[in-house]
């Protein structure tokens, strides 16, 4: 009998507008509890603590992100890491999180008759 493993579903999100050509790979089936724990931590955080808030945003992104092809204003690749995350412009970060959320929420629930 084959060993069962939870599939990891990934979607590449193609950004547009000012960020046409930027892609972000997102897991569309992250473990719900982990995702919610990180979201709750963000909601309870002191939003005046910019570093703490960015760390919590990264924690959320880390639970769904698989990779990106983001570059800086000189065309140099932004590493897909906590350090790289701090180099991403705030508007790009916002767009990325918004698109990831939409991708996760649109995954259809499949059911089969019993």
> Which pLDDT belongs to residue 14?
95
Q: What is the pLDDT of residues 14-38, one digit of tens each?
A: 999 999 999 999 988 888 777 677 7
Question: What are the tokens at 38?
Answer: 């990180």
Average pLDDT over residues 86-107: 84
> Which pLDDT belongs to residue 107?
60
Residue of 87, 89, 80 lying closest to 61 (CA atoms): 80
CB-based contact 11:103 (threshold 8 Å): yes
- The CA distance from 20 to 95, in Å, is 12
Q: What is the pLDDT of residues 42-65, one digit of tens each?
A: 677 666 666 666 777 777 777 788
* 111 pLDDT more than 50: no
* 12 pLDDT more than 90: yes
């Amino acid at each position: 009998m084959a060993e069962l493993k939870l599939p990891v579903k990934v979607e590449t999100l193609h950004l547009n507008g000012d960020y046409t050509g930027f892609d972000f790979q997102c897991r569309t089936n992250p473990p719900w509890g982990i995702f919610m724990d990180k979201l709750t931590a963000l909601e309870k955080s002191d939003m005046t603590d910019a570093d703490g808030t960015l760390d919590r945003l990264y924690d959320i992104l880390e639970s769904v992100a698989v990779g990106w092809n983001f570059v800086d204003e000189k065309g140099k690749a932004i590493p897909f890491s906590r350090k790289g995350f701090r180099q991403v412009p705030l508007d790009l970060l916002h767009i990325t999180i918004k698109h990831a959320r939409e991708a996760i929420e649109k995954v259809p629930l499949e059911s089969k008759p019993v």
